[in-house]
Structure 1
Amino acid sequence: MFIGRRESSAGPVSYVGGDYAAATAALYERLWSLGHRRVALVGYHEESESTADRRAGYLRACRRHRKAPLALTDEDPSSVFDRLCSDQVTAALVETTEMAAALRALCEHSGLRVPDDLSIGVLGDTDPTQTSTWPLRTSPEADWTTFRIPRHDMGARAVRILVPMLRGDVQPGRKTQLLLPCELVDGATVAEAHRALS
């Protein structure tokens, strides 16, 4: 039984995870409803399940609105910021609070404001075990627009699935695979689109 992780070299496993793809698509839709038509994804270069899920949700939303995706990886924050400016992005979906804080600091240094000039949505609430290659520029406890990962519910559901397995009440080889919805949280880092980032 895994919590979060869903792949194993031994084959299919039972798991309970968060539905990051659906939550990412929903946050994109929130930005779209506010008039944002140039929405970028800023995430990790490495391939992990959670990163792949977020990317899949972003690409699904792009296809729905027939918008070309702009996915940027965790290279130097200044390079990412310059690319957002040159591509006239008005909103960014960012994988971690560290990345989001770095981008907000770069906005402020350039005389731009979040969310007036650039809206930022964080793809999941702060995970204390999360690490980033980006330097932390401001507090990760800012009032981010994000989605809440149901970590407590994931653990509780995993226990309820695991106990019958340990008792032998589950048919051998049967795998339970469950994704729980994430709750959107409206913070202070997303607003209506007014103009292109410049």
Structure 2
Amino acid sequence: MTTVLYSRVSTKDQTLEHQRIQAEAAGFRIDLEIADHGVSGVSTRLAERPEGKRLFDILRAGDTLVVRWVDRLGRNYNDVSDAIREFMRRGVIVRTVINNMTFDGATTDPIQMAVRDALIAFMAATAQAQAEATKEARRNGIEYAKRPDAPEKKYLGRKPSFTRQQYDTVCSMLDMSSGVSAIAEVTGLTRQTIYRIKHDREGAEAALASWAA
């Protein structure tokens, strides 16, 4: 039985190594790492990605697929839920680093199956909702930075102490009601930085957009 870590990053600010370190810190022993770089989880289905499609070829019954969170599989409700259910149908166990969720097809109890499927649907919906919220925040931040009266036009301010990947992870974990201490452990950010993002996501997004520009 093989444990495979699948990682995905879509921007230059994100790193694949960060996802592996998170997985190992959470206690996962990784046998094989497969990663897609520069691939959007919104517009590209898992089976259509250069490395993502390999998962469907190499994973066998009894293997474990590890992802930081379900949004690494996709940012679309149908894509995420379909991918997880297909892996379960093949006997593959899907586990997440964040919140340590486990999805498998072992149970035959109808109640447990209903709870499992409802949780998959919820997490898939959350992945899409987070993607849409991030996209909206990014658009607002860029528009704010373009305003003639925006402070960034005169002074960019202090460079953000967090990357795009860390920002996205903080937002995802906040949306899942994760505690600040848990978020700090996963992202490596200080509690103060996490609180700043928590209380002013749009401002944090605007800072990232300004410095990216």
* TM-score interval (norm. to shorter): 0.3 to 0.5
Q: Give the structure with the higher percent strand.
A: 1
Q: Greater relative contact order: 1 or 2 (C-alpha under 8 angstroms, separation 6 or more)?
A: 1
TM-score using structure 1 length: 0.38
TM-score using structure 2 length: 0.36
